[in-house]
Amino acid sequence: MRDLALRLSSLAKALPGGRRLFDGLALTLEAGQHVAIRGESGAGKSTLLNIIAGLDTADSGEVMVAGTDLARLDEAGRTALRRDAIGFVFQAFHILPHLDLVRNVAFPLILQKQPRTSALMRAGAMLDAVGLGDRRSSYPRELSGGELQRVAIARALVHAPRLILADEPTGNLDPDTAAQIIALLKRTVKERGAAMLLVTHSPLAAATADRQLMLTPHGLVPVHG
């Protein structure tokens, strides 16, 4: 068996009003695998990613990321795990407005206390990879939504994470750019031995995955065809 990037066991989550998002959810994701999760709006897809990243908590069940049980970590430990092992492409980007693009992308490396020069070089290379190498000195306010999405993807990949969590990574992109970004994400997964969990409404983006799953109140159900 390849290295285990993620294991979810008997995961359950309900909203404060009592509506159950999911129960008995289980998933195993190995290094090099790319899994897409689909579901209706409000099904809990983003909530699931936040639970995996330690930004939210499940009502019950177990989350193991790169062999580490999140329940055994305090807030500092969860922050360190996100910094070192997880690349998160947020649906809302979370790009820092006061930093230019290259420093935004380099931010995870700076948090790891890597040398500034090498961090900026790696960030510049990632901006090249997403087609924004000529915009490295631009600021977020100067970019379109699609360009900000590409910056978010570059930042999520720059520190070579073990697990990539992508929340609608092509939602703000035109079809050609979306295809390029999905190809980059897939190439990163294969070349670096990472694993990727992709949440998407797009059947085309989901079809690129090794497996497609539908999020339901009873857990994850395989999607065929």
Measured CA to CA, the distance from residue 152 to residue 76 in angstroms comes to 23
DSSP of 180-220, one letter per residue?
Answer: HHHHHHHHHHHHHT-EEEEE-S-HHHHTTSSEEEEEETTEE
Element housing 109 (H / E): helix 101-111
Task: Please give the biggest Cα pair distance in the chain.
Answer: 50
Cβ contact 173:149 at 8 Å: yes
Measured CA to CA, the distance from residue 78 to residue 90 in angstroms comes to 17
- When the pLDDT of each residue in the chain is averaged and rounded to a whole number, the result is 91
- Which whole number is the average pLDDT over 16-27? 93
Q: 60 φ, ψ to 5°? A: -160, 165
Q: What would the pLDDT profile of 179-201 be if each residue is shown by its tens digit? A: 888 888 888 888 878 899 999 88
pLDDT, position 225: 60
What is the value of pTM for the model shown? 0.92
Measured CA to CA, the distance from residue 105 to residue 185 in angstroms comes to 16
Q: What would the pLDDT profile of 92-150 be if each residue is shown by its tens digit? A: 788 999 999 999 999 999 999 999 999 999 999 999 988 899 999 999 999 988 888 88
- Which whole number is the average pLDDT over 202-225? 90
Q: What would the pLDDT profile of 60-83 be if each residue is shown by its tens digit? A: 999 999 999 999 999 999 999 999
pLDDT, position 1: 45
Count CB-CB contacts under 10 A for residue 66: 18
Counting residues of the chain whose pLDDT is more than 70, the rounded percentage is 99
2 falls in which pLDDT band (50, 70, 90)?
low
Taking alpha carbons only, the member of 84, 82, 121 closest to residue 102 is 121
Q: Quote the DSSP letter at residue 92.
A: T
Element housing 166 (H / E): strand 163-167
DSSP, collapsed to helix, strand or coil, labels residue 67 as coil
Count CB-CB contacts under 10 A for residue 55: 15
